[in-house]
Chains A and B, each alone.
Chain A
Amino acid sequence: MTTLNLPSYLDQTDQVKKRFDALKKRDVILDVKKISKKFDSPQGEVEAIKEISFQTHKREFVCVIGPSGCGKSTLIRMLAGLETPSGGEVLLDGKPVSGPGPDRGMVFQGYTLFPWLTVKRNVMFGLEMSGRSKKNAESEARDWIDLVGLSKFENAYPHQLSGGMKQRVAIARALANRPRILLMDEPFGALDAQTRTKMQSNLLDIWKNIDITILFITHDLDEAIFLADRILVLKAHPGEVNEVIEVPVPHPRSPEQMITPEFLATKKRLEELIHEPEEDVPMNLTLMTDKSDSVD
């Protein structure tokens, strides 16, 4: 078997290096300090997350990836304030957060749109709840719907939309509350491959155009590399930071980059980190084992 001669994922071109230098000089938006989470289970206390620390800078796109059971979702739910950490703290703009709040917008995998409201009313919901006048909320909601490219559908109900469109509404709804950071929990996990690729480009466009920091959870390696400035790779049992990868793929991103050497090198590294070697299972089948025509 031949292997591609890939560069190291650590090699960065000058352009990429410059970008990271600039990024690191920006303000820290989210500062996670040694948070951990323990659950009680019949087998005793289980440590789901152990002292995870990291920072996201202003307008940075950070992806979190890891094997199943590494506590990705628990992590993001703690950041959103939907679960309380057992230890450590989370700072947003330098101030500790406790409990959920509109400064951290959340996009869930299951769309979670209000089925009884139109697209426009869905996006207006948070604005109206924060006490804005209806007219004011409506005009602002329109801008957000415009941004995600759904102007034609502002009066449609969620069940009339495709999965990708629903998720765009959910993004618009989260952004309308003007969060400091957008927390996305496998938002494209339920979409088919083509829609997913489109949504990724779409999200990058939105991200480039506005002042938003994004923390994005995924289990899809390509998605993580395509979207992220940095990838936080977790390992399981307990969930800990395995490695933080600075993605050497230059901006602006396009799907064609998925076959460039730096992309593949990063992917190879991620695979090494995530897929632990599986034990060989001895095959003892008596049926359908005639492989005499093997061409290997």
Chain B
Amino acid sequence: MNKIINFLQISGLTWFVPFVRMAAGENPKTQAKDLWMIMGIPIVAFIIFLMLWAQLSSKVVTSLGTVPGPSDVYKQSTLLWQDHKDQRAKEDAFYERQEKRNAKYAEQGRDEKIKWREFTGSPTYIDQIFTSIKTVFMGFIIATLIAVPLGIFCGLSPTVNAAFNPIIQIFKPVSPLAWLPIVTMVVSATYATSDDAWFSKSFLNSAITVTLCSLWPTLINTAVGVASIDKDLMNVGKVLQLNWYTKVTKLVLPSSLPLIFTGLRLSLGVGWMVLIAAEMLAQNPGLGKFVWDEFQNGSSQSLSKIMVAVLTIGFIGFLLDRIMYTLQNLFTFSDKR
């Protein structure tokens, strides 16, 4: 049982701990109290929030009708899901037809008639979610690959740190919207796309914008983590006459890992926030574009669709943070384990 609880705590799913304890036959009274604190109160608060939302939203009237309440949003989300399923069904049917047709041509020996086409349906809401997630991870990984090594250099050498500090301070507060035009121009100038290119331009534009904005938390936290390693711990390495590479991999990295992960968590959060704005402008087929298109569309359903997107964005952001938190607990030492 302790193993299960340990896992739940590592992954931050502490809500379920009282259930496990209760199932294992621990005092139900104290567990019920815990449960009330961990689950009961948040649920009650959420219900109150939904009620307030339902009440107040109907009072705000816009040119596209009233602001959607919870029920509109729920209805819209089922519609979007239905749309996704319909599109998938269409796609499957398309490929099935194509395969049959081509098989028939092949049988008749008319090979010149065989054509393989891609399905050209518009991306569904679910597709857009996955594009967004792919984009943010792409940008985040590039940012990590730059920020962690650079942070280690900054942390190890006061000279390097002094050199980079002003640059970091200046670029850290820059909004993604300011970067995007430059990134767009640079990408279109240097990245020649053809139809079978790995990434589309709009994807790269948003990913690189994410990189530029999510670089800083990791960079700063890594530098601080490395610089604040116990001096005597470094001396242990000196006494053993470790070379530079061994020192970094065996001593510096593991001891600064907790702070590096803190930085990574912040970076992913920033990246996800920035992504939506970047996608809106870069027209990368993700959640940001979805919101923008619905805004331009201006139908009576647009506001509730956007509201679905808002909640999705929030929920995925939360999920990403949980994933990072779990990874952090798995890969770093802590006093709790």
Contacts and interface: CB of A to CB of B under 8 A. Distances in A.
A159 B332 CA distance: 13
Contact of B238 (A82, A116, A159): A82
Contacts of B242: 129
A233 B235 CA distance: 26
A100 B239 contact: yes
A112 to B, nearest CB: 5
B327 to A, nearest CB: 15
B246 A129 contact: yes
A183 to B, nearest CB: 9
Nearest to A170: B236
B239 A116 contact: no
B233 A112 contact: yes
B257 to A, nearest CB: 7
B239 A129 contact: no
Contact of A105 (B239, B257, B335): B239
Contacts, number: 56
A114 B241 CA distance: 16
B292 to A, nearest CB: 46
Interface of B: 230, 232-233, 235-236, 238-242, 246, 250-251, 254-255, 257, 332-333, 335, 337
Contacts of A102: 239-241
A101 B242 CA distance: 10
A67 B233 CA distance: 26
Interface in A141-171: 157, 159
Contacts of A112: 230, 232-233, 235-236
Q: What does DSSP make chain B's interface, helix, strand, loop or mixed? A: helix
A228 interface: no
B240 A129 contact: yes
Chain A interface size, as a band, is: 20 to 34
A114 B247 CA distance: 13
A85 interface: no
Contacts of A80: 235, 239
B240 A82 contact: no
Contacts of A115: 255, 333
Contacts of B233: 112, 114
The 8 A-B pairs with the shortest beta carbon distances in the complex, nearest first, are: A116-B333, A108-B232, A100-B238, A112-B232, A116-B254, A100-B239, A115-B333, A159-B335
Q: What does DSSP make chain A's interface, helix, strand, loop or mixed? A: loop
A63 to B, nearest CB: 20
A101 B241 CA distance: 6
Interface string A25-36: 000000000000
A157 B239 contact: no
Interface in A103-149: 104-106, 108, 110, 112, 114-116, 125-126, 129-130
Given A108-B232, A108-B235, A157-B333, A126 B240 contact: yes
A157 B235 CA distance: 21
A238 B222 CA distance: 40
Contacts of A218: none
16 contacts: A80-B235, A101-B239, A101-B241, A102-B241, A105-B239, A106-B235, A108-B232, A108-B235, A112-B236, A114-B251, A125-B240, A125-B250, A126-B240, A129-B242, A159-B333, A177-B240
A172 to B, nearest CB: 13
Which of B233, B254, B332 has the most chain A CB atoms closer than 10 A to its own CB?
A: B233
Contacts of B257: 116
B155 to A, nearest CB: 17
A108 B238 CA distance: 13
B215 to A, nearest CB: 26
A116 B335 contact: no
B247 to A, nearest CB: 10
B235 A129 contact: no
Which of A102, A125, A129 has the most chain B CB atoms closer than 10 A to its own CB?
A: A129
Which of A81, A101, A116, A125 has the most chain B CB atoms closer than 10 A to its own CB?
A: A116
A106 B250 contact: no
Nearest to B242: A129
A153 B239 CA distance: 25
A100 B230 contact: no
B334 to A, nearest CB: 8
Interface string A72-105: 0000000011100000000000000000111011
A229 B240 CA distance: 28
A105 B238 CA distance: 11
Contacts of B230: 110, 112
Which of B230, B239, B254, B335 has the most chain A CB atoms closer than 10 A to its own CB?
A: B239
Given A126-B240, A130-B240, 8 more contacts: A106-B235, A108-B236, A115-B255, A116-B254, A125-B240, A125-B250, A157-B337, A177-B239
A128 to B, nearest CB: 9
Given A80-B239, A100-B238, A114-B255, A129 B250 contact: yes
A268 B255 CA distance: 45
Contacts of B239: 80-82, 100-102, 104-106, 177
A97 to B, nearest CB: 12
B238 A114 contact: no
Contact of A106 (B236, B241, B246, B254): B236
A129 B249 CA distance: 12
Given A80-B239, A100-B238, A100-B241, A114 B254 contact: yes
A292 B239 CA distance: 61
B66 to A, nearest CB: 56
